[in-house]
Each structure stands twice: as C-alpha cells, then as structure tokens.
A and B are shown apart, each in its own frame.
Chain A
Amino acid sequence: MKNLPEKAFLGEEFLTWLWYRTETGQGEFLRKNGSYAGASMEDFLLFGGDDRDELEQTLRRGLPSKSPEATTALAEGKRLARARLTLATGEREWVLVLDGRTFDFLSVKCPEEDPEDIGDDPMAKDLARMQGFAELSDLVDELFGLFLETRLSPSFEDKEVPRIRAWIRDRQKL
C-alpha cells in the first residue's frame, strides 16, 4: 500500500464538507470573481477508514449519497475517500471523480465546446478543451480554498463541526 501524502485527510474532509453543504442547501459558492459555482454529489462514493488498511466500502448507482449505507458509514466515522461530483459555474458543467487523499482527477468529463466559438478551427477546439481542464482545476482549488478558510478558522470546532455532526444525526433519523 503506497504512503499517503501529508495532511491527505484534508482532502477527504473537503469531500465530506462538500457533501454536507450540498445536502443542507449550501451547495452554491461565491467565487473570487463574483460568479457562483455549484456542486452536487453523484452516483459514486468510496469510504475508507482512518487506517489505510481498513476495509473500503464503495456505493454506486442510484442515489448512494442518500442511502442508509452512506449514513451508516458517516456515523461510523468512515472517511469519504472518493466521490463523483458535478461542478458547475455559469453555463459550464464538469463531472469528475475526485480522490480526496491524492487530489487525483478521475473520469473527468469537460463541457462541450460551443461550436459558435470555435468554428472549424482544430486549434481553437484543442485550446477550448485545454481550457476546460484548467478551469476545472482552478475551480476545485478555489472550492478547496473555501473549505480551508472554514476548516482553519478558530470557530470551526465550535460552530461548523457541531453542524456537520447534526447533519449526520439528522440523516440517521430518516
């Protein structure tokens, strides 16, 4: 088993935080440029434990983020190691599986290029696609930055953590 990068747990917590935000009506994020970005959880979740050798649990298809299995995993303190997400800003939308431990971008689908913008120029098409990957990278880093602002603030333990725990408890009541 390969070694995890230092503070890799922050990526797992980031995924859990995104999940919590999207399920509590806070799935819209104000970006530095004044626009908004949205996030939603899709049909793939992979849970792991504190220990890398601990059993992993994969939930896929249907609505795994709403499933009782997902609630149980959260309640048992399992970490969200990977998740399929949709991220959107303006008219553009990306789907990807984000690995929280390594921040690898897996199975990425970038938005279709607008034919009116690129015409028949293959180089313009290439460039639009390259920009699609770069924009996604910027967006994920910006969302991670927003998470870190919350995570590293002095009030995080007293305010945000109880809210996240309450969200997990509420899920158990359903």
Chain B
Amino acid sequence: MAVFRRNGSFLRFFVEGEVPAADSDEFLKALAENRFRTIENAASEEESLGWISPGDASGSSFLREEIVYPGFTRLRMRLDKKKLPSAWVKIYMDAEIRAKGGRKLSAKERKELREDIADQLLPRVLPSVRLVDILYQANKGRLFLFATSQNLRESVQNLFFRTFGARLIPATTLEIAETLRLSREQAKALERCAPLELGDKRLQRRAVPASPAEQEQSREASA
C-alpha cells in the first residue's frame, strides 16, 4: 500500500450528522455498499464514482487495517469517466464517408453513423481515472479532501451523504468562526462586520497630478 502523502493541496469540510465508528463493521459495510464499480468494458459514455481501499484500487476489498489509524480514517475515492475521443470519431466518420463514395450524408444518416461508431469504439476506450485521498478525523468532526476542483468537491459531498447520510459542510471563514466559541458580543460583531477599507484610493488619484488643461477644465466646471 502506498505511503500517505506528505505534500499536496486540500480542502476541509465539517461533518454534519452521525457517522458510524470507523472501526465498526457498519462503517466498512457502508463503504462496500458504495464501492467503486468498474466501467472499463462499458459501451456507453458514463462515469463511476465510489470508494476504494487505499491498498486496492478495484473497490473489491476494504481492510480495516488499511483504513483505521489512531485518530484518523484513511479513505480513498475513485472517479472514472469514459468519454469517446472526438478526434477518433471524426477519423472513423471520414473513413466511412469515403468508403461510401464521399456522398454528403443527411443529418439522420450522420447521426446513425456516429452511433454505430460509438458502439464500435466505446468498449475499447479506457476511462480516465482519478484517485482522491480523503482523511477523516471523527473526533474533530472534520474531513480533508486532497483535491481542489469543484467537480470533486461536489462528488465527495454526494458520495459521503449517500454512504453515511451525513453532510459535508465546506470549512469557510464563517464555519470556522462558529467552532471558535465566540462570546455573544463577538458573535454580534461578526454578524455586523463589513469589509474593511484599508487602502486610500485618493492616494492613487493624487499620484498622477492633473495636467494644466485638466486643471483649467476642472476650474471651469466648478465655476
């Protein structure tokens, strides 16, 4: 099994709702029920999202000793996407049209031809694979997602909810502030506070002195 990363980018979430203890059978069962299922031989454009074990990317086994660490739960999500490469479709389309004498095809004929080519090619196309590390700290009710794209952010939120019925709330400034046990006065001040204006935009205007003509125009305007 690969050693856990030391570097990388991550997003944080707070977990809202009950999640079974990571070392329980219930937890492993929930992972297995929402495991990754391969689309390697699928004959259509589709995607598959599910849990895998850190030591087995197939999604067929979940070993407690690979997942449960003191204070942490090490999870891994796999997202495969199968998409027909448009360049290959064009190459096959052109070849078919040439074979039919180069005659211009009607829209219906083109659609049918494209579908035939897709049926022919898709089982041979390998899906793209994303393996995403996730670290869950149950005692702090938080989760680290080692990916930053909006798509993966939403994918993990959906998968986690589907698996455990718990919601992942992005750890924004306001959510973090709520964990800091603010006093009533501080909470009120937080609610009221508006962005600070630290710069002095007038300084910028002063930095470029008005030309004599502009000064003259300004005097005329004010008069």
A residues with CB within 8 A of B: 2, 5-11, 13-14, 16, 50, 72, 74-79, 102-110, 112-113, 122-123, 125-127, 129-134, 137, 141, 144-145, 148-149, 151-154, 161, 164-165, 168, 172
Give per-residue flags for B191-223: 1 if the beta carbon is below 8 A from chain A beta carbons, else 0. Answer: 001011111110110000000000000000000
Query: In the bound complex, what is the Cα–Cα distance between A105 and B11 (angstroms)?
Result: 6
- The interface residues of chain B lying within 8 Å CB-to-CB of A134 are 71-72, 135, 137, 140, 144
Q: Which of chain B's residues has its CB closest to A156's CB?
A: B189
Q: Does B7 count as interface, using CB distance less than 8 angstroms? A: yes
Interface residue range, chain B: 35 or more
Give per-residue flags for B1-40: 1 if the beta carbon is below 8 A from chain A beta carbons, else 0. Answer: 1011111111110000000000000000000000000000
- The interface residues of chain A lying within 8 Å CB-to-CB of B71 are 130-131, 134
- The interface residues of chain B lying within 8 Å CB-to-CB of A122 are 1, 3
Contact call A9/B3, Cβ cutoff below 8 A: no
- The interface residues of chain B lying within 8 Å CB-to-CB of A149 are 186
Chain B interface, >50% SS class: mixed
Chain A interface, >50% SS class: helix
- The interface residues of chain A lying within 8 Å CB-to-CB of B172 are 5-8, 102-103
B residues with CB within 8 A of A: 1, 3-12, 69-72, 74, 135, 137, 140, 142, 144, 148, 150, 170-174, 176-177, 179-180, 182, 185-186, 189-190, 193, 195-201, 203-204
Evaluate whether A75 and B179 lie within 8 angstroms (CB atoms) in the complex, with A106-B9, A122-B3 already known. no
6 pairs, CB–CB < 8 Å, chain A vs chain B: A10-B193, A14-B173, A75-B199, A105-B9, A105-B11, A134-B140
Contact call B171/A75, Cβ cutoff below 8 A: no
Taking a contact as CB atoms closer than 8 A, the residue among A9, A76, A126, A152 that contacts B74 in the complex is A126
